[in-house]
A = this chain, B = another copy of it.
Amino acid sequence: MDRPTKAKAVKRSAGRPRAFDRQKALGIALDLFWRHGYGGVSIGQLTAAMGISPPSLYAAFGSKETLYREAVALYLDRYGGFMSGLLDDRRAAREAVERALQEVARQFGHADHAPGCMVSCAELQAAPDNAALVMEMAKLRQSAQCALHGRLEAARTSGEIPPTTDTASLAAYYAMVIQGMAVQARDGAKTALLKRLAVLAMQAWPE
């Protein structure tokens, strides 16, 4: 990590240079994994879509599993912005959640990429061999919900929402909403409908 292995395109280490765009290939993997899941995409489909051969893929990404993890990281980086909006403490909690759900609706229904949420629908059902990945993705969802819980708890102690509010259930509720919206989007729901769902979901807000 600290060695200048491939930090910049300018500074290149010895050896034959890569003949393909690693980031673009990763983006292709992201799209395939998003649509079809880990087990639903084969190395053959990946290499075909990337226009490279298996050895090139393995030299660049290590294994199918590490490629998947890297694709998830790219997803969070590219499309996971609504989570930071959800937690934004420069806004009132209610406004932050309301805006985040609207952003989720926009995001999940966007036509430029796969519908829904890669993480919400990730490995909900998977082969027993992929138990490690299954657990990782579940933990990813759990940690997001946990962060929201923290934000809501802060809102409770600051008096933004009633002191009797069950913030754990409320966090689970909005996690559920986002996960449900992801399924709806996967099944073809457009942004307009998703936004209406977001509005309805906000009626559960305390007070």
CB distance from A65 to the nearest CB of B (A): 16
Q: Which residue of B lies closest to A45 (CB)?
A: B128
Binding site for B on A (CB under 8 A): 34-37, 39-42, 45, 116, 120-128, 130, 138, 141-142, 166, 168-170, 172-173, 175-181, 183-184, 186-189, 193, 196-197, 200-201, 203-204
Q: Which of B122, B142, B168, B179 contacts A179 (CB 8 A)?
A: B179
CB distance from A138 to the nearest CB of B (A): 5
A34: B residues at CB distance < 8 A: 125
Question: In the complex, which of the residues A125, A142, A193, A201 has the most CB atoms of chain B within 10 Å of its own CB atom?
Answer: A125
CB distance from A135 to the nearest CB of B (A): 10
A176 to B197, Cβ gap below 8 A? yes
